[in-house]
Amino acid sequence: MKFKLASLCVLTFIFISTLELKAQQTLTVPRESQMASVMQRIGITDIKINYHRPGVKNRVVWGVLVPYNEVWRAGANENTTISFTHPVKIEGKDLPAGTYGLHMIPTENEWTIIFSKNNWSWGSFFYDEKEDELRIKVKPSSADFKEWLEYYFDDSPANKTQVVMHWEKLKVSFQVEVDVPQVVLNNFKKELENAQGFTWQAFNQAANYALRNNINLDEALAWSDRSIGFNRNFNNLWTKAELLQKKGNNAEAEKIREETMQISTENDINTLGYQYLSTNQIDKAIEIFKKNVKDYPDSWNVWDSLGEGYAVKGEKKLAIENYRKALEMVQDDVNKKRINNILKGLEGS
């Protein structure tokens, strides 16, 4: 009887202790190292870092709190993770799309940055080198004091960015580079097999992108033909003509351009002029705008566009002349005010 009673007491203690442990694990309370995340888009590729932010708290960080020559979780609490929606290059080395555990091995003069296929573990306690996808070496640099660890993106032109970890008086960074045109084209191929693939606009947009970036020209021609097959119009015919010229087939390109001009509208030509203007082909844009002025002399908008072309080129006198012509013809108050303001700027400069 005493044995049974003792056993019951032990079981009761274990049961109550388990309940208490579960209660402690279930309730959500604030953490000292709070969660944070940052995201940067390069082209159409998203880079996201999830991490927790430890504080210095008057401690010696490097070499003591974070030992040298040991794998560190690059933050606090659970795994610091970094994700890429498309393949990238890290300091020139290929890394597939995916989510990775981000770890670091600090030393006084050089750090190892680790991208682990294990992105779910707690910190670096379960780190296994066999799960590495990539390792790179970088140099740390001194920085202004920062109490709470922070990740951010710096120096982000069109195709790359610097990922920076800044804590205490130290920064560590690495470059992420994206082959933006190729990523975009690969994405087009998927989208063109979906609902977008039933429209002439989508195939023409894909062909135009390849044309502007001078890549996949044969495939772009095929996309252009698909677009024309849906709806033969000024836009996709002009795209095909430009592609043919890019590939050296000038005679066929000129033949298609002649057909294109026969079916063009004022708006078609004006839009084409602005496409040239947006890609810094200013002289081509001006020639297109001049054609519209010749074909549609009673439209204030064509004079306005030609004025803008000359203004971009820096030919102030011709810009003023054409803007004044547009101002004489325009009827609505909004555009009158806009053109007047442009003229004031040109005449006052």
For residue 220, give the CATH number of its domain: 1.25.40.10
**Same domain, residue pair 145 and 192:** no
Contacts 24+ apart (CB under 8 A), 210-213: 210/185, 211/239, 211/242, 211/243, 211/246, 212/279, 213/181
**Same domain, residue pair 333 and 221:** yes
Lowest mean pLDDT among 94-108, 158-172, 304-318, 335-349: 335-349
C-alpha closest to that of 214 among 282, 279, 283, 289: 279
**Same domain, residue pair 139 and 223:** no
The last residue of one of the domains, among 156, 177, 198, is: 177
pLDDT digits over 139-162, tens only? 999 999 999 999 999 987 889 999
**Same domain, residue pair 207 and 163:** no
| pLDDT in the model for residue 32 | 85
The last residue of one of the domains, among 131, 148, 177, is: 177
Domain hosting residue 106, numbered range: 34-177
Instruction: Give the number of domains in the chain.
Output: 2
**Same domain, residue pair 220 and 121:** no
Give yes or no for residue 14 having a pLDDT over 50: no
d(CA 271, CA 94): 40
**Same domain, residue pair 340 and 195:** yes
| pLDDT in the model for residue 6 | 47
pLDDT digits over 15-63, tens only? 444 445 444 567 888 888 889 999 999 999 999 999 999 999 999 999 9
Whole-prediction pTM value?
Answer: 0.79
**Same domain, residue pair 305 and 200:** yes
Q: Are 47 and 162 in contact (CB under 8 A)?
A: no
pLDDT digits over 63-76, tens only? 999 999 999 999 99
Identify whether 160 is part of a domain: yes
DSSP 273: H
